[in-house]
Structures are given as structure tokens and as C-alpha cells.
């Protein structure tokens, strides 16, 4: 709405699972709101995100996400599911933010339709594995449907 509050509501303290559907990676305000919610839930263990990238890289979002990757290192996420991941730069930066922020991450599951992918699932996983950040033991799973 008009930015994020300076201190998170106490209601976020007990949230263990969040789902974001059709998250626009073209909008810095929306991305900053999602990052705020993720980082304001100290018990968050499961995160599901469906990207709506619409094929446009937005430099402002990429810069915002790169800056966030160095601010957090205490997320308790264990499992992340990413839907509609097509390997755009801003999507990769969001995944890097998650990896840099989470010490106990066990699994990231990527799902997509074959026809939407820019590269193969194996190529994407190989690139993401190069940047494991705080999560060196995470398993990457990529599934494509036709």
C-alpha cells in the first residue's frame, strides 16, 4: 500500500507457511512487500511462490533484490516451491536472495511448463548451484510439464 511498516505486526511471529500467487517481478513495491513479509516471519518454514514475470527484466527489481541478499541471514525456511520459473534475471536474483538468507534450507522445488523455459531445467539448476550462499546442503528439484 504505502510502503511497509517499520516494525512487523506481532501476528507474523507464528506464521510457518506463506504462499504468493502471481507475484509480479516487474513491480519493486510488490517485490519489497513480499521480501518484507518473508523476513518478518521468524518461524517461516515453507514458502510457495508463483512468479508472473511476463518476460520483462526490470533493472530496479534486480537492484533491489541484489541489495537484499546481503541484509538477511537468519530465515528459517526449510522448503521453497517456485512455480512458473522461466530463468529471467530477476527470478534468479530472488532465488539468490533466498539462498543467501537461509541457513537451514533443505529443498527448492522448481515447476514450470516446458514451453515457457528459456533453458533446460538442468542448466538452470547448474547455475543456481554455483550460488548456494548460506544454504550449502540444499537439494534442487526441477520439474517440467508439457
- 22-40 pLDDT, tens digit per residue, is 888 888 888 888 888 898 8
Beta-carbon contacts of residue 13 (< 8 Å; ≥ 6 apart): 41, 42, 43
Q: Percent of the chain beyond pLDDT 70?
A: 75
3-state secondary structure at position 47: strand
Position 73 scores a pLDDT of: 59
Q: Taking residues 104-133, what's their average pLDDT?
A: 71
- Asked whether residue 86 is domain-assigned, the answer is yes
**Residue pLDDT, tens place only, 54-98:** 656 577 887 888 787 665 657 889 999 998 887 777 888 888 888
- What gap in Å lies between CA 144 and CA 93, rounded to an integer? 21
- 2 falls within a domain: no
Distance of CA 72 to the CA centre of its chain: 13
Residue 58 belongs to domain spanning = 12-145
CATH number of the domain that 46 lies in? 3.80.10
Residue-level length of the chain? 146
> Residue 17: what pLDDT?
96
| Cα 118 from Cα 38, distance rounded (Å) | 27
What domain count does the chain have? 1
Could you tell me if residue 7 is inside a domain? no
Amino acid at each position: 500500500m504505502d510502503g511497509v511498516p517499520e516494525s512487523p505486526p506481532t501476528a507474523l511471529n507464528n506464521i510457518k507457511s506463506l504462499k504468493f500467487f502471481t507475484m509480479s517481478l516487474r513491480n519493486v513495491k510488490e517485490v519489497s512487500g513480499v521480501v518484507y513479509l518473508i523476513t518478518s516471519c521468524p518461524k517461516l518454514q515453507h514458502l510457495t511462490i508463483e512468479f508472473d514475470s511476463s518476460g520483462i527484466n526490470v533493472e530496479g527489481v534486480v537492484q533491489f533484490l541484489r541489495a537484499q541478499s546481503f541484509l538477511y541471514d537468519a530465515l528459517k525456511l526449510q522448503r521453497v516451491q517456485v512455480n512458473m520459473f522461466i530463468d529471467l534475471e530477476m527470478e534468479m536474483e530472488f532465488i539468490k536472495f533466498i539462498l543467501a538468507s537461509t541457513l537451514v534450507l533443505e529443498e527448492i522445488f522448481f515447476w514450470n511448463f516446458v514451453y515457457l523455459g528459456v533453458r533446460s531445467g538442468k542448466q538452470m539448476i547448474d547455475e543456481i548451484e554455483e550460488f548456494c550462499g548460506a544454504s550449502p546442503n540444499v537439494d534442487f528439484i526441477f520439474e517440467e510439464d508439457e
